[in-house]
Amino acid sequence: MKFLIVGLGNIGFEYDSTRHNIGFDVADAFVIKHGGNFRLDRHAHVADCRWKGKSFTVLKPTTFMNLSGKAVKYWLDKEKIPLENLLVIVDELALPLGTIRLRGSGSAGGHNGLKNIELLLQTAQYSRLRFGIGNNFPKGKQIDFVLGKWNLNEIPTVKENVLKSIDAIESFATVGLERTMNQFNK
């Protein structure tokens, strides 16, 4: 079985370790754990990994967040991966830090990366892992918060949730979305 795991983020040094790039951070950690290496390929940094008889193509789109759908559509088609084996990892303001939430479909919730994926796939029926970044910012400072780096006191929680996200990806691939949601959506 083949899976497409897509971590959303923006390319460029200035975006490294920001809240908006947590999808890239989870993708990096997953690939490191499973002995893969990223290479620059069409529309994305791409890594191939195997684990427990499953094949994973892991993407970090190079199209910038707002055009992520271009990479997702291209690699789904190229690798002939069914839509039900797609999992997109994205930052989520509406969830408190320390929370992850899996869904099999849903709205983009104002997230431009998800909006573009839905536009190009012509559906919102794909799985996503939302990584809570919290919403601890003053009015009018949402962009600064999302594009800002983690505070020192947040880093231990972030690291713990990155590991939990890896476990959720592995569970998604082995026992399916429903059982994974029951286990991780607490």
In angstroms, the CA 116 to CA 104 distance is: 17
Please identify which of the residues 20, 34, 43, 111 carries the catalytic annotation.
20
45 is catalytic: no
Q: Catalytic residue numbers?
A: 20
